[in-house]
Amino acid sequence: MYPTKTPAFVEVTPKNLPISRSNSSLMPLPIKPAQEVKAKLIKTAPRNKLRLIALGGQDGIGDKNMYIYEYNDDILVFDSGMGFPSAEMLGVDFTIPDITYLEEKKNMIRGIFITHGHEDHIGSMPYTWPKLGAPIYTAPLTAGFLQAKFEESGIKGAKFNIITPGDKIKLGVFNIEAIHLTHSVPDVLGFAVGTPSGLFLHLVDWKIDYTPVFGKPTDVVRIAELAGDGVRALLTDSTNALIPGYTISEQIISQTFDNIFKDTKGRIIISSFSSQITRVQQVIDAAVKNRRKLVIAGRSMERNVNIAMQLGYLRVPQGLLQDIRHINHLPNNEVAIMCTGSQGQEFSALVRMAAGEHRQIQIKKGDTIVISASPIPGNEAAIDDTVNNLYRLGASVILNKQLDVHVSGHANQEDLKTMIALAKPEYFIPIHGDYHHLVEHGKLAESMGIDPNKIIIFENGQVVEFDQKVGSVTKEKVQSGNILVDGSGVGDVGNIVLRDRQAMAKDGIFVVIITVDHRTGKIMTSPDIISRGFVYMREAEDLIYKSRQEVKHIFASAYERTPANYELIKKTIRDQMSEFLFNATQRHPMVIPVVIEI
Amino acid sequence: MYPTKTPAFVEVTPKNLPISRSNSSLMPLPIKPAQEVKAKLIKTAPRNKLRLIALGGQDGIGDKNMYIYEYNDDILVFDSGMGFPSAEMLGVDFTIPDITYLEEKKNMIRGIFITHGHEDHIGSMPYTWPKLGAPIYTAPLTAGFLQAKFEESGIKGAKFNIITPGDKIKLGVFNIEAIHLTHSVPDVLGFAVGTPSGLFLHLVDWKIDYTPVFGKPTDVVRIAELAGDGVRALLTDSTNALIPGYTISEQIISQTFDNIFKDTKGRIIISSFSSQITRVQQVIDAAVKNRRKLVIAGRSMERNVNIAMQLGYLRVPQGLLQDIRHINHLPNNEVAIMCTGSQGQEFSALVRMAAGEHRQIQIKKGDTIVISASPIPGNEAAIDDTVNNLYRLGASVILNKQLDVHVSGHANQEDLKTMIALAKPEYFIPIHGDYHHLVEHGKLAESMGIDPNKIIIFENGQVVEFDQKVGSVTKEKVQSGNILVDGSGVGDVGNIVLRDRQAMAKDGIFVVIITVDHRTGKIMTSPDIISRGFVYMREAEDLIYKSRQEVKHIFASAYERTPANYELIKKTIRDQMSEFLFNATQRHPMVIPVVIEI
């Protein structure tokens, strides 16, 4: 009944694996201290102070993460993520951090530590690592994801140092220890960073899950032990700083999945992020228990499941995974499909299914779709469209607001309080959130008895300095910001291009082309008018006619005032035509005058 | 200490009132049956059937509402709202319904019934009413809001028939009765519509609030009585059809406000929709109880508060309201400010305050802002920006997810079930929601024992017909859709203009201007290239240089193949330059070739 052939995407032999345990660059340890390089200081940073700098992460959920620890000639980098473009960044694919500051101090970078495999923490590595070239320290699964990214981008020569919780690494003045955390992906690391200014705990993207789906709970004991030695500052996750109560364990989702699988007669399609490897395991478990086969749909999910299986992060019984091409040979009540598209992303598997454009999977009456994710702000409308299309095809959709099919991977207020109680830090520095979240997280710490003068709120580009006595935000600002990636261009879309896109998106363009006899200054033919996105030209003949007359008139009188000064004449045309068109339509198209001298 | 002068905005005398009880056109009753007009049928609708048509309302939260009841030569219209533009409707201010169908049957319209004063139910009246001209039936406060809108738009001659719950009106074949409902604004009406095909209950935008802030609870008794006569179909609100449990009473907000007012030492600024008159009353009550003065900020809120006061919908003690110009003379702990901007709308009072651009109100440390609203999907990012800016100025913000400072005005699942139990309809027709919500609301009705064959899901433009025996969706589609309002243009921005805006927003434009000697077909000067929103021109000199060469080359060979056929030559340039630019940048700017013959 099932295809006997192993399905294509699991038919991977070690040689074409994106990553494997036999690859020596991935072998855990021995980790050598970074090569001692005499750093040439470009800018003189104050000596004998620990400097904390965010090149990303402090501007909201979905911001690219990148934090720097600097002391004299040594720098550590934590994470190098990509960010979601904001609504104003029209046409932009994603953002990466501006690393000018690090490029100038490249020789001082002892290591790049990656906390976990989510895109906002690893996504910009193919762009930043080739410029920085420092050794990479991270856990096995994250290394697997990263190595696949590097291979896709044709990046070679990266050195991966595989670390696991408990590993201790000395790099320059820093003594780093990896700490096990739970989140919504396996292999999440926090770091204890020993510095001459004291011990700093760097804990992003975690929650306290005492019954995780994969691996051990957050290592609360080790954190308490470190507290015994004295924690100078705790830097930690502000994502859910506004949300009261405790975060729910991922286990609740397993129960919900099991119930859904039990109660559903038709096919079940579960959509989530491709990096949510624990979620995939939960679907696998529900499928096994309820005698369904599993199909994986979506390129990034296939790749990540592949990597996770090869590295032993997924328990997959033989025969469970089926080739997508054989899906229509299976009875509906024996099919489960795991796919991408939980955010309504264009071209994702679920969105193509909802549009009736997926090659292998046609949605039909009786299908149940589970969206196992929360909407990232800004994606709500795209998700709604997808859901409505699925209903129109006869399917039902289960969303997180109806059943527990997703839980946050981030700590709510009570978990955050537990961490403060465990770490007992002298200073509290909220990270990974927007200004609002950082401040509210600070208030939470204050309510736990942290001295309000020792709660430090800093934004991207700001510098926090710690000497033996005090820590505070300095007045220094380092270069930071969003580098926009659009198509093959990295950084070539800046404010001017964006402003033009915004203006054209709002009211369109209005190009006025005037051909002038350079000897007489007379217009040779009737002005050409090219307009897009302003008014529907075929129905605006009257306006266009009047505009031509107006342009001729403006040109003639401007030429009379300043003969042959075409820059000035163009400015006059731009100003006066803008006003003319606004009076006619209450719209502000971008007016572009072009004068061609013959 | 307080200005003795009554503040400007309450200093309104009856003569400059937008509306007053003395205005005869607003006097309640006598309502005469609409003039009998022999309707000339444009399209022949089936005789002796009740036809239900949605010209808006069935496409999600924020869709423009407009429902039609038609029987032979008689038509009733329910609501005429405006809609929020979706993310793809770049530059569009708002949407209104396409009323072509009604315009063709204008003489058959016996009345336009307005259920309540929210924009998605009244907002398009200044556009639709002048074309339809039918008498308007609505409650006093809604009439007040509408009349102010008409005055602002210079619309004269509208006839308002003021109705109150219990009023019965005969118009053509229809017997209409107004039913009192609770929602988040006072004066909300449901309608029982008696037709030759039976009794239809039309209930949009309601919840069951047994302890409303203003007026009486939803008239559950009258609905139960009508059920005794037999309800053919219940048409009702699907907004919260996915949300389990009961809706909370508005009273909870009064308690939260009182607590906030008690505990806060600085100024308190509450932001909500300008039509939320009950919310204003709650702020007034909290201010009175906690000895604060109240200032109203934001033009639309001033107007609506004014109307509500004049019509007796707000209890405002003498001396409570203060002029905004005197705000800085009051001690912080005696100030409350009620303002617009809860959705982060550009130019709204709160957004201007957050940007430091409000003329009278400067945000300062210690200010507490309460956002007494839920984000409408799509507005999340704008609200986040506003909140972050307020924090940067030293203020704190209380959001609905932290405290109960807002509750939904719509019925959750248990209230919806109560309504089905009360009305005991034969047919169930979910309205006011997107397809997903309508279907799920239908399933709720099915779970209550409604025959699944008598649950009717219909979309905008579809026609439902009821004869004596059955009701069902027909295959007929009437013209419907969104008319886009942009600046002073109504409907002149259509799909082509939008598509151009979307294309330019994504990758910009690339205009190629070629001047050709019409005798020789030779290019006279180097091609001009005008580009915006594509690449930053000053840093793309190399690409522009190569593009010019490419254009010359394409032109020459195209001219050779089809001399002087400039349409074909332009098409070739467009196609080949698009490919050239995509290969260079992975972007698709809109390429516009212009050939000028001299």
Per-residue pLDDT at A28: 37
Question: Cβ contacts (< 8 Å) between A487 and chain B: which residues?
Answer: 507, 585-587
Taking CB atoms and an 8 Å limit, are B90 and A506 in contact across chains?
Answer: yes
What Rg, from alpha-carbon coordinates, does chain A have?
A: 29
With cut-offs at 50, 70 and 90, classify the pLDDT of residue A214.
Answer: confident
| Helix (H) or strand (E) segment spanning residue A112 | strand A109-113
First to last CA, chain A: 77
> How close is the nearest chain A Cα to the Cα of B431, in Å?
15
Taking CB atoms and an 8 Å limit, are A497 and B242 in contact across chains?
Answer: no
SS3 B565: coil
User: Nearest residue on chain A to B87, judged by CA atoms?
Assistant: A381
Four-CA torsion B583, B587, B590, B596, nearest 10 degrees: -40
Per-residue pLDDT at B7: 30
Residue A79 falls in which region: left (phi positive, over 0), alpha (psi -120 to 50) or beta: left
User: Nearest residue on chain A to B390, judged by CA atoms?
Assistant: A436
Question: Cβ contacts (< 8 Å) between A387 and chain B: which residues?
Answer: 436
pTM over 0.90: no
Interface probe, candidates B61, B413, B500, chain A, greatest A C-beta count within 10 A:
B500
Per-residue pLDDT at A45: 79
Amino acid present at B292: R
User: Nearest residue on chain B to A390, judged by CA atoms?
Assistant: B436
Report whether pLDDT(A36) > 50.
no
Question: Three-class SS string for A309-321?
Answer: HHCCCCCCCCCCE
Report whether pLDDT(A283) > 70.
yes
Per-residue pLDDT at A378: 78
Per-residue pLDDT at A403: 87
Per-residue pLDDT at B584: 94
> How close is the nearest chain A Cα to the Cα of B507, in Å?
6
Angle between helices A413-423 and A220-229 (to 10 degrees): 40
CA distance A269 to A367: 7
DSSP 8-state secondary structure symbol assigned to residue B406:
-
Q: Write out the two tokens for A236.
A: 């930690």
First to last CA, chain B: 77
Report whether pLDDT(A10) > 70.
no
> How close is the nearest chain B Cα to the Cα of A460, in Å?
14
> How close is the nearest chain A Cα to the Cα of B6, in Å?
37
Taking CB atoms and an 8 Å limit, are A504 and B533 in contact across chains?
Answer: yes
Chains A, B: CB pairs < 8 Å: 197
pLDDT tens column, B45-88: 789 999 999 999 999 888 999 999 999 999 999 999 999 888 88
Is A90 in contact with A498 (CB distance < 8 Å)? yes
Taking CB atoms and an 8 Å limit, are A86 and B381 in contact across chains?
Answer: yes
For B313, residues 6+ apart whose C-beta sits below 8 A from its C-beta are: B141, B186, B187, B214, B277
Give the total residue count for chain B: 598
Question: Three-class SS string for B57-118?
Answer: CCCCCCCCCEEEEEECCEEEEECCCCECCCCCCCCCCEEEECCHHHHHCHHHEEEEECCCCC
Four-CA torsion B10, B14, B16, B21, nearest 10 degrees: 100
Taking CB atoms and an 8 Å limit, are A91 and B508 in contact across chains?
Answer: yes
Place of tokens 């210690």: B366
Q: Closest CB to B435: pick one of A392, A534, A540.
A: A392
Report whether pLDDT(A25) > 70.
no
Is B162 in contact with B30 (CB distance < 8 Å)? no
Per-residue pLDDT at B538: 77
Can you list the domains of chain B with their CATH numbers? 50-245+408-486 (3.60.15.10), 251-398 (3.40.50.10710), 508-597 (3.10.20.580)
Per-residue pLDDT at A33: 38
Taking CB atoms and an 8 Å limit, are A492 and B536 in contact across chains?
Answer: yes
Report whether pLDDT(A40) > 60.
no
Is B403 in contact with B209 (CB distance < 8 Å)? no
SS3 B338: strand
Report whether pLDDT(A468) > 50.
yes
Per-residue pLDDT at A11: 26
Q: Closest CB to A504: pick one of B524, B532, B592.
A: B532
User: Nearest residue on chain A to B526, judged by CA atoms?
Assistant: A596
Q: Closest CB to B506: pick one of A90, A399, A530.
A: A90
The backbone torsions φ and ψ at residue A149, rounded to the nearest 5 degrees and listed phi first, read -60, -45
Give the total residue count for chain A: 598
Taking CB atoms and an 8 Å limit, are A487 and B585 in contact across chains?
Answer: yes
Per-residue pLDDT at A43: 58
| Beta strand residue intervals within A229-367, DSSP E | 231-237, 268-271, 293-297, 335-339
The backbone torsions φ and ψ at residue B443, rounded to the nearest 5 degrees and listed phi first, read -65, -35
A444 or A540, greater pLDDT: A444
Question: Cβ contacts (< 8 Å) between B573 and chain A: which residues?
Answer: none
What is the Cα A142 distance to its own chain's centre? 15
What is the Cα B203 distance to its own chain's centre? 18
Is A240 in contact with A206 (CB distance < 8 Å)? no
Taking CB atoms and an 8 Å limit, are A508 and B502 in contact across chains?
Answer: no
| Helix (H) or strand (E) segment spanning residue A262 | helix A251-263
Amino acid present at B590: M
Report whether pLDDT(A398) > 50.
yes
CA distance A407 to A402: 12
For B203, residues 6+ apart whose C-beta sits below 8 A from its C-beta are: B179, B181, B190, B191, B234, B235, B236, B237, B419
Beta-carbon count within 10 A of A98 CB: 22
Q: Closest CB to B594: pick one of A513, A525, A586.
A: A513
Question: Three-class SS string for A203-243?
Answer: ECCCECCCCCCCCCCCCHHHHHHHHHHCEEEEEEECCCCCC
Per-residue pLDDT at B43: 58
Nearest to B502 by CA among A582, A544, A346, A96: A346
Ranges of residues in chain B with a pLDDT under 50 are 1-42
Question: Cβ contacts (< 8 Å) between B525 and chain A: which residues?
Answer: 596, 598
Amino acid present at B414: E
Residue A270 pairs in a beta bridge with: A338, A370
Taking CB atoms and an 8 Å limit, are A586 and B489 in contact across chains?
Answer: yes
Question: Cβ contacts (< 8 Å) between B498 and chain A: which residues?
Answer: 533
Interface probe, candidates B59, B368, B501, chain A, greatest A C-beta count within 10 A:
B501
Q: Closest CB to B592: pick one of A60, A392, A530.
A: A530
Report whether pLDDT(A292) > 80.
yes
> How close is the nearest chain A Cα to the Cα of B579, in Å?
14
Taking CB atoms and an 8 Å limit, are A535 and B384 in contact across chains?
Answer: no
